[in-house]
Structure 1
Amino acid sequence: MAEPSEFVITAITSSLGTAGLIAILGWLFRTWLSERLKAGLKHHYDHQLEQLKAELKGQGEANLTLLKSEVDRQAEQLRIAASSFSEVQKATIVRKIEAVDALWIGVLSARKAFPPIIVLTDALTRSEIMNLYSGEMRGELLGLKFGMVTEFFGDLAKYRPFLGEVVWAHFATYHALLSRIVYLFIQGKTDQTKMVWYEDETIKRLVRSVFGEGKSEDFEHLSNSRLTWMNGQFDSMLLNSIDHLLSGKAFGAESLAHAQHTLGLLSSKAT
């Protein structure tokens, strides 16, 4: 009696013929071979993946060790620098703070002592300013003395080494502006046009030098409150530079060059 498998093969052969049997056997062989290749590749890639993971873990641990070492090294440098700073620079920091306090008190005192008659002109028109000497304010104008400007700021120059050139340049320019304004009002006794201080070319150059071209254009387009505007711009600029100074940040080369230029301009005006 024939085996079942032989019977099946005989049945298939009978129904499909030799060509059909070969096609089926070929498909089965390709399927088997594909599965074997997939299994082989999977094993190969799994092995490589494990090796790569091990290598990356080793590199990561090595890099982490190097990074920790570098962080520790920099931390030690900062600790040494901080210790050195606290010992060597502590007195200088205290002097800087004292200098800033003295400077700001000087600025506030100058504003308080600034002639009220000049402050009043912030609300006057050009023609009204020019007619002040012929009106009720003549007595106050005649009492103006140029020396009062020096009294505004006292001996603040002694703090200059602790304020730095940038902060000092801002302050010195402000001092020059106020001095020039008082001077022009004194000159108004003989030439009333001098009292229109915001039209003075020296004032314009100082404003342009300290506040920049853009702010200078804003200043020239104002219709009133010019002194108030100038005080506000100065406060903002000075407080920013003071914050920079006390934070220990170094001023950039551009800021230092601008400060030197401004101080040079003031020096040339003085001579």
Structure 2
Amino acid sequence: MSEILSSSVLSAALVAALIWLSRTWIKTRLTASINLETEETIAKLKSALDATNQKVRDLSAVAASANQHVESKLLEHKIDAIKLVWETVQDWQQVTPATLTISILPEDWIEQNASHHGTRSTFEQLLKGIDPASFLKKQNKVFLARPFVSEPAWALYFAYHSFLCNRLTKAVLLTMPDLEHPQILKRFGERQLVVKSAPPEILAAYDKDPCIGAESYLQYLRESMLSEFNDMLSGRRAGAEALKNAAEVLRAAEALSKSAI
């Protein structure tokens, strides 16, 4: 019986040891297999991620190249637009004698003497050799430049254009007989545009002397335009406050342009 029990205990111990060894071996094999599969999966994912990143880099390079090409072409259009705007600014010098005379003569004097033949003769002489309709038609070509200039730059130009267009229209009306000049000319109020588009010191100068003040105002607009053009070409963008001010200037300039309609 002792031998039988000893043999049974030994067999049980051997079986237990084999079971433990089998479990350990299976666990080790499974762990190794799982680790291998995991490493293979990670390697595949890393390879796919690297390929995706490379595609992204390639697409980014293509996009950057395309954007650079677009910016280069856009810069050409901006330069052409600036040239057109500035040439138009310079063209206004052709009618300076008439627009300057309008600023010299007080508004109440113009209203009282607008229909006098001497007034008509004077402004006919000042506008001699100039076809106002053709001149303004040529000036209006500058609107082709608007998509390529900043809002502040365009607002400054349009203020300049509206101010001088208003004065040129007055001069042309004074060459026309049989008009109710006082009633018509009362509609041409340019001061509100100066209020919206110029600093207080320029407005004060304009109120003190419309002639000298008007020249200071126009000079301010020209210098401000040049500053905006430099910002455009350097890539600087206008802030929210500058855009808001530009919108107000545009509204005042448009109101002045429509005042005679």
1:23-42 matched pairs, under 5 angstroms: none
User: Structure 1 residue 153: deviation in Å?
Assistant: 1.2
| Residue 258 (str. 1) matches residue 245 (str. 2) | yes
1:208 equivalent among 195, 203, 206: 195
In the TM superposition, what are the counterparts of 1:186-197 in structure 2 within 5 Å? 186-188=172-174, 190=179
Task: Tell me the percent identity.
Answer: 19
Matched, 1:242 2:242: no
The CA RMSD measured in Å over matched residues stands at 3.6
- Alpha carbons of structure 1 residues 121 and 183: separation in structure 2 relative to 1, 3 Å: closer
Q: Does 1:110 align with 2:121?
A: no
1:222-237 alignment to 2 at 5 Å? 222=209, 224-237=211-224
Q: Name structure 2 gaps, 5 residues minimum.
A: 1-60
Paired residues of 1:171 and 1:238 also in contact (CA < 8 A): yes
- Report the residue type matching 2:92 in the other structure: A
Shift of 1:148: 5.0
| Conserved 8 A contact 1:109-1:152 | no
Q: 1:179 to 1:158 in 2, by over 3 A?
A: same
Matched, 1:101 2:83: yes
Whole-Å separation in 1 of the counterparts to 2:153 and 2:249 = 11
Does 2:136 correspond to 1:150? yes
What's the CA shift for 1:249? 0.2
The amino acid of 1:254's aligned partner reads E
Q: Residue 119 of structure 1 corresponds to which residue in structure 2?
A: 100
How far did 1:149 drift? 5.5
Supply the distance in 2 between the matched residues of 1:244 and 1:216 (Cα, whole angstroms).
25
- Tell me the alpha carbon deviations over residues 204-250 of structure 1, each in whole angstroms, 9 at most, x when there is no partner: 01111111444222211126334422321111111111111111101
Change (3 A) 1:194 1:171: farther
Q: TM-score, normalised by structure 1?
A: 0.56
In structure 2, how many angstroms separate the alpha carbons of the residues matched to 1:84 and 1:119?
A: 50
TM-score, reference length from structure 2: 0.58
Change (3 A) 1:200 1:227: farther
Q: 1:192 to 1:267 in 2, by over 3 A?
A: closer
* One-letter code aligned to 1:210: S
Do the aligned residues in 2 keep the contact of 1:167 with 1:238 (CA within 8 Å)? yes
SS in 2 for 1:249: coil
Number of equivalences: 189
In 2: Cα distance, 1:194 partner to 1:255 partner: 37
Alpha-carbon separation, structure 1, partners of 2:71 and 2:136: 32
- Structure with greater Cα Rg: 1
Is 2:159–2:197's contact at 8 Å kept on the other side of the alignment? yes
Give the residue type in structure 2 aligned to 1:106.
Answer: T
Q: Tell me how far apart the structure 2 counterparts of residues 265 and 119 of structure 1 sit (CA, whole Å).
A: 21
Q: Pick 1 or 2: higher relative contact order, CA cutoff 8 A, min separation 6.
A: 2
Q: Alignment partner for residue 148 of structure 2, among 151, 154, 162? A: 162
Q: Is the 8 A contact 1:149 1:179 kept in 2?
A: no
**1:86 aligns to 2:72 (yes or no):** no
Runs (5+) with no aligned partner, structure 1: 1-79
The structure-2 alpha-carbon separation of the partners of 1:140 and 1:245, relative to structure 1 and needing over 3 Å to count, comes to: same
Task: Give the conservation status (yes or no) of the 8 Å contact 1:207–1:216.
Answer: yes
1:175 is matched with 161
CA change 1:148–1:251 in 2 (3 A) is same
- Contact 1:117–1:140 at 8 Å: present in 2 too? no
**How far off its partner does 1:260 sit?**
1.8
